[in-house]
Amino acid sequence: MKASAITVTRLSYDRDDLPIAPPSKRDEAVSVIIQLTDFKMHRLWKNNVLIFEGGHPKGAIAITDLRDEWQCHHLSPFDNLRFNIPLSFVRSFLEDIGRPQFDGFDCRPGTKDDVILGLAQAVLPYLVRRHQANQLFFEQISLVLLTHLTQTYGSQYFSTKKNGVLAPWQEKRVLEFLTTNAFAQVSVTDLAQICGLSRSYFIRAFKETFGRTPYRWVMEYRISKAKDLLLSDLSIPEVAVACGFADQSHMTRAFSDIAGHPPATWRRQHRPKSVDKSS
Residues 6+ apart with CB under 8 A from 71: 20, 21, 22, 23, 24, 44, 45, 48
The pLDDT value given to residue 139: 83
Band of pLDDT at residue 52, cut at 50, 70 and 90: very high
Locate all alpha helices (DSSP H) within 1-79, ordered by sequence.
none
Q: What is the torsion angle, in degrees rounded to the nearest 10, for the CA atoms of residue 157, residue 161, residue 166 and residue 169? A: 90
- pLDDT (tens digit per residue) in 126-176: 777 655 656 777 888 898 999 999 999 998 877 666 678 898 889 889 999
Query: Could you tell me the end-to-end alpha-carbon distance of the chain, in angstroms, rounded to an integer?
Result: 26
DSSP string, 69-80: -EEEEE-S-EEE
Domain ranges, ordered by start, for the chain: 2-152, 168-270
CATH of domain 2-152: 2.60.120.10
CATH of domain 168-270: 1.10.10.60
